[in-house]
Structure 1
Amino acid sequence: MKLFNKNILAFSALSLAVMSCFPEQEVSEIDSPDDGAVVTITPAADYSSVDEGDTLWFDLSTDKLFDQSIDFGVVFQASSESDASDVELINPTFSAFTYTTRVGVLVLSDHNPEGAETLAFNLDASEDYGYNFQLAPSSESESVSSTVRDYDYGIVWGAEFCDQGVDIDIYLVNLAQTVGVYDGATSACPVEGGSMKSLADDTYYIVADFYASDIPVGGEGVSIPFNVLVGNNNGENHMVLESSFNSNDAGNDNRVVGFLEISGDGTAYTVYDAEGEEIGSGSL
């Protein structure tokens, strides 16, 4: 028993000697999320009402430099009628080792006449899962709710004819017939025409052209109704004319369905029917 106790004492002494050879290890502190960079986002203007084609600019600043770049993005709110197909980001990356940047959200012009719609989103870095740990929880997430106005023109016809190769184009020609705008010369159904905001001051014929159809020619033919629409700044659609083509006339029929006047250095427009009667106007 004494020999056993002596062995225990000897082993304990050896253990203490070995442990005394290593320095004491300090436990590192855990970084608090509050120690991250605080990013402030400031809209460059009032964006409560915007037009298709406008860019919403935001100035971003940070109180601490990042060691890795951070991507900012758009997160749509439940109230938004617009979605990712309606916007495009410009310069969305906040580069490392910089204090400021400017991010743009371009509202795309779809050249499809439609009513005003709500664009509601947050601009933040929540989608950048790899690097947003650098940001403090107190960083701002800028909320925007805009009414997007539309100034497009286009043409629609009965949807049942879209599957039968019906191709009705729309184009604009000025009264002197020296300028033609053929944005709407496509096979789409409905036809996405163009934006009035891109037009020079002038008065234009609005022409509908029955370009093609897969409906067999014969007999009395089939009546194909169509509407020419011009969007306005009130979020409504001006119906320029309701008319129809006969399916037997594909490739051989076009007509003036109305007139579009652009004035005031591109700041105003007036729509007339084929008889020259005013049916609507607005500002651009």
Structure 2
Amino acid sequence: MKNIINKIGVFALACLAFTSCESEDDNTGDSLINYSPATVTLSSSSPTMFDESAIDADDASTFQIEVTATLSAAQPTDAVIDLIQSGGSASSSDFEAHTITIPAGSTTGSATVDILQTGDIEGSETLQITGESRANFNVSPFTFSATIDNDYINDHLDLVLSWDGSAVNDDVTISSFCEMDYDLVLLAEDFSPLAYIAGTASCPEEDYISGLADGTYYIASDLYSNPYSGLGYTDVIPVTISYSQEHFDVSGSFSSSEESQQNLSSPDSGAVGGFGEGLGAVVIKLVVTNGYEYTLTNFY
């Protein structure tokens, strides 16, 4: 009997020892496999000189650095490479860098770095671009160097003339003042008319001025046509001129004051001819310096 028990005990210990060894073997598996990440090679044949003032939004491809990424063999996962600035004097507002993705199963991909118009006076700038992997890929050494010359200086002063509103007179309602026709005019320092800035039938009127010689000017609203002038309405027309200059800290608005308010009975002017009927609900003094620096103040 004791021999039988001893044999059972030895057998049990042997099974336990065998099971223990088998568990250790199960944990070895892939941990013994050496993994070497694939290498991505970057290249570009894009131009290295960019004229910022010549950038055309309709032909943006002319002002891009295109970078191509290549793998020697397709991989089972996407290779994602961020294009980043590695040096140079350009700031983050001078360009927009994108990301290259080489899809799983492919060997190439590409993306661009877009050169932007900033409107800042910066002089000649340099830009160096390299690539940085997001995942388990190596990126071969790569630097693309570019120069951005000829600053783009925005001399467009954008203007919006608005006057919409509504009124009721003897239960007759005007739902919109846009049936009236206001225009925006440019006057010389002596108040003589120079040109229409915005002279259409649009409501609001929107346009811009540019290319003015240094000096003093005036911008004025002109009530060109008023179909309500003889109908007895006395409601005030809310005339406002808003202005802005992209890339510069220049923006604001001027509205008609008590001294200059026009109402629905105001006569129209029919044409620009000085401060006559219809002209001048809002008048802005404009001083131009260096061809693109604008200072605007309320004339009243």
Task: Give the number of the structure whose alpha-carbon radius of gyration is greater.
Answer: 2
What TM-score do you get using the length of structure 2 for normalisation? Answer: 0.46
